[in-house]
Amino acid sequence: MDSAIAKTERAGGDAKAKSESAAASTKEAVKDAGASVAGAVDDASITAAVSTGLAKDPDLSAIKIDVDTKGGTVSLSGPAPNAAAKARAEEIAKSVKGVSAVNNNLEVKM
């Protein structure tokens, strides 16, 4: 009888440990998912702010510049009317809060 009680207590303890471990894993997964969503929201905000800044520039507003942001790194692609406008586009992107780097792939039209 004592042996059966001991086995039951051990099984109960093992189940509790597994449950606590699963809860900790779930909590960590939710935290990671939240961080991913927050990062996506930040990247989307950065992209919008860079696009808005480019739209305010008289030389850049009339052309289509693709702005993509991943992990705070902004990538610019598309045409630029001249080298000065290309450099200005990069400076506009760098000035946005949250931007860690800019990949300026704009092509100057001749």
Q: Which two tokens stand for residue 105?
A: 């792939």
Q: Which domain holds residue 62?
A: 2-108
Q: Note the pLDDT of residue 41.
A: 56
Q: For residue 59, which amino acid is it?
A: D
Domain containing residue 25: CATH number? 3.30.300
DSSP string, 6-35: HHHHHHHHHHHHHHHHHHHHHHHHHHHHHH
Q: Note the pLDDT of residue 98.
A: 93
In angstroms, the CA 37 to CA 50 distance is 20
Instruction: Enumerate residue ranges in the chain where pLDDT < 70.
Output: 1-41
When divided into structural domains, the chain yields a total of: 1
pTM, 2 dp? 0.64
Q: Note the pLDDT of residue 109.
A: 78
Q: Look at residues 89, 30, 29 and name the one whose alpha carbon lies nearest to residue 64.
A: 89
Q: Note the pLDDT of residue 110.
A: 72
